[in-house]
Amino acid sequence: MEITASDLFKNIEDEYIRYRKKWGQNVDRLPFGRRPNGAGGYHLEIHDDGRMALVGTDRDMETERRETCSIDELLYWIFQGSANSRAGMYQPSEMKDPRQAWFPKALDEIEKLNPAWRHRLELEQQEILRKHPFSN
């Protein structure tokens, strides 16, 4: 039996809700749909061949597109941004570069959802720091 785009969207939404609950958040749906809403932000495209695209738009112009066949990867992309946002709410004290406090916090936040994602985010942070080291 082949899975439909609607079924796949529902599976993604169920996983999204499950992960949000791990953060203590009670949500009942994804924060975006399957089509652009005209106001900017993200939407999810699901293709017949199983590819999924997380698409960002601004003023009806596409600004970002990430494609995958993996629900896990798609959810990582969604929650990686959320983990960084949650970490950014932390007010570091006396650090010239707030990333010194934010990066470890983001790792802690994403690990609460999926421990395997922590390593992936850590590698991304290391690449950022390779290009843009902490300022002292």
87 in Cβ contact with 106 (< 8 Å)? yes
Which residues, in sequence order, are bridge partners of residue 66?
54
Average pLDDT, the chain: 91
Give residue 77's pLDDT: 96
Residue 6 belongs to what H/E stretch? helix 5-22
Give residue 39's pLDDT: 83
Give CA 50 to chain center in angstroms: 19
The SS3 assignment for 91 reads: coil
Give residue 23's pLDDT: 95
Alpha helices in 39-98 (DSSP H): 71-88
The pTM for the full model equals 0.89
Phi/psi at 70 (5° precision)? -110, 120
Regions of the chain short of the pLDDT cut 70: 1, 92-93, 136
